[in-house]
A and B are shown apart, each in its own frame.
Chain A
Amino acid sequence: MPAVLTVDPRSGVPIYLQIIDQVKRSVALGVLQAGEQLPTVKQLALDLTINPNTVARAYRDLERDSVIETAPGRGSFVRADGTAANANAAAVDIARDALESGLREAKSVGLAREDVRRLLETALDRWFPEER
């Protein structure tokens, strides 16, 4: 798990959001499986050389989003129930963010809705040819 998780503290993206994003991504990709234990807050903070309260904040948010659960004294685990649903939700989150940012860019450089629709159709054909 620590090997999978990396953060870039010098980025303008808050570190706790980077951790949340990566855990969700790992769950979506099956790198983290149901019931799998996450490092303790202290361990992850030391592994990444970042503030432990920042890690704790990420874990709290992941708990709130039902991605992980914490058993006092035992540690934090990827939730067993609904991992499939979590994985799917995480995948949708990631894809939505990427699409949103692409569409925002398209709009900001002045493309019209029809131009964007054509681009989307072409991209869909390229990436999902079997589902045409």
Chain B
Amino acid sequence: MSTIQISNLRKNYGSLAAVAGLSLQIPDGCVFGLLGPNGSGKTTTFKCMLDLARRSSGEVLYDGHALAPETFQNVAYVPERSVLYEWMTVAQHVEMNRRAFAKFDAARAMELLQQFNIDPRKRARALSKGMRTAVMVALAFARNAGVLILDEPTSGLDPVNQRHVLSLIINEAARGNTVVFSSHQIGQVERAAERIAVLDRGRLVLDGAVDDLKADRKIVEGIFPGVDFTLDGIAGDPRIARVDRTERIVRLLVLSGADEIAARLASAGAGGVRVLDLNLEDIFLYAVSPSDATADVVAQGSSS
């Protein structure tokens, strides 16, 4: 029920700009994956979206409205570090949430806790890191919220429980709810997210639909017979984001039109012209470390 519009968001900590002018639109009913290296501003962005950190400038609107107390009834949040009262039992946390949130489904919370194998009689201080994450996830998904903001919702979880969290996200999406989540496990984002944004040093470096990015972004590779060849008229194409050239081998990162650019490389005299697919990890690495991602990508890339 909510389109989230982030405009020119900026958050400074002293002289450091943790988020440096971020604009993003998260469509209603979308599962949106936020990717970025450590310190790229993901957690700060989430906090600013929830007014848990004061924005230095910019705005965040939910369906055109600024975050108000009543908006919180509809927005559930799993913070990067779990927030639990150490002396309280898990069951008491469920009860606390039931009192705080009108649509909270306590029976659903207990069911989710059971699926994660968590004994609700345990005190928070007795929980492992993964169990704490699972408790936060169970509480958030029992909220019946239209928007879920999940900061690393699988951290510390074993693979079975990680997959369970993905299924919960997919279930929310099927109900038309909006989910924004971050994960260092790109494979999870690749499965669950329809759209992604990549942050690097507080700036947006890439955003789009995962399937569209995969369909458009390719590596075009060709081998020239001699070392003295020219890429005149090819390298300047705006669809080519990057040119890597060793003695006789040329590798182009293209943003679209791969087949046409491959044909032009062939007519320029290159042999063995190939178009290589990029998975989300490759696309991510190119976006955040444009200078040294190539070697890996070419080693893994499949021919198409």
Contacts and interface: CB of A to CB of B under 8 A. Distances in A.
Most B-side CB within 10 Å, residue of A54, A57, A109: A54
Contacts of A28: none
Interface of B: 29-31, 163, 166-167, 170-171, 173-174, 187, 190-194, 210-212, 214-215, 266, 271-274, 276-282, 301-304
Interface in A63-106: 101, 105
Nearest to A42: B174
Give the dominant DSSP class at A's interface: helix
Contacts of A11: 277, 279, 302
B173 A9 contact: no
A12 B279 contact: yes
A11 B282 CA distance: 10
Contacts of B171: 42, 46
A108 B272 contact: yes
Contacts of A10: 187, 190, 279-281
Nearest to B166: A49
Interface stretch (A13-21, A31-39, A117-125): A13-21
A110 interface: yes
A98 B194 CA distance: 29
Contact of B170 (A50, A101, A105): A50
B302 A52 contact: no
A62 interface: no
A16 B273 contact: no
A101 B302 CA distance: 13
Contacts of B279: 10-12
A11 to B, nearest CB: 6
18 contacts: A9-B191, A11-B277, A11-B279, A12-B276, A12-B282, A13-B304, A16-B211, A17-B215, A46-B167, A46-B170, A51-B191, A51-B193, A51-B194, A52-B174, A53-B30, A101-B304, A108-B273, A110-B271
Contacts of B187: 9-10
B167 A9 contact: no
A8 B166 CA distance: 16
Contacts of B278: 12
